[in-house]
Amino acid sequence: MSDRKIPIDPVHLTELIRNPVIVRIVSILDLASLSILELLEYNLERREINYALSEGVIAIDKTNSPSSSSHLHPTEMMQEDNILVRGDSYFYNFLNSKVRLTELGLYILDSIKEDLSKKELPLNQANQFDLSSFNPPT
């Protein structure tokens, strides 16, 4: 889950690029930087997010991670109905931490976009024919 450079074999890279969960996560994070909680709101499962984290496709953005006391005043943290009283502040911070694409995630995103542009090219070229001199038989 760190930014260390891990050599990745082409077979594993191909598996990641063909994995619909990885493609979905990378595509979602291309649009915006989101928290883990927001990824869950995209109907991703916790195990899918963990898989992307463990494979090094995404990483927790430590520059934007919330501190334990940044969102709540100490008196709010002491309320009995507050979830943080039960010792869940770590989980709360984890869910609210932002994730970003790693170099591997950015590479997968570029591969997806390149593949989509190659598929669109023949469709666009099909509409490029000059039909102005076409004389249909009468």
Place of tokens 């334990």: 68
Instruction: Assess whether 55 and 91 both reside in one domain.
Output: no
* Domain span at 110: 1-61+98-115
**Considering the domain boundaries, does residue 136 fall inside one?**
no
**Considering the domain boundaries, does residue 108 fall inside one?**
yes
Average pLDDT over residues 44-56: 94
Instruction: Assess whether 85 and 29 both reside in one domain.
Output: no
**Considering the domain boundaries, does residue 82 fall inside one?**
yes
Distances (CA, A) of 77 to 49, 83, 92, 96: 28, 8, 12, 16
Whether the CB-CB separation of 22 and 108 falls below 8 Å is answered with: yes
Q: Mind listing the pLDDT tens digit for each residue in 7-38?
A: 678 888 899 999 999 999 999 998 788 999 99
Maximal C-alpha separation, the chain: 87
| Residue 53 scores a pLDDT above 90 | yes
Q: Could you tell me how many helices (H) and strands (E) the chain has, helices first? A: 7, 3
pTM here is: 0.65
Greater model confidence, 40 or 66: 40
How many distinct structural domains can be found in the chain? Answer: 2
Q: CA–CA separation, 13 vs 108, rounded Å? A: 8
Residue 114 is encoded by which pair of tokens? 């390149």
Q: Give the count of beta carbons closer than 10 Å to the beta carbon of residue 90.
A: 10
Greater model confidence, 49 or 93: 49
Place of tokens 């499962």: 45
Query: Which residue spans within 5-119 are E strands per DSSP?
Result: 34-35, 58-60, 98-101
Instruction: Assess whether 21 and 81 both reside in one domain.
Output: no
Instruction: Assess whether 43 and 4 both reside in one domain.
Output: yes
Instruction: Assess whether 14 and 44 both reside in one domain.
Output: yes
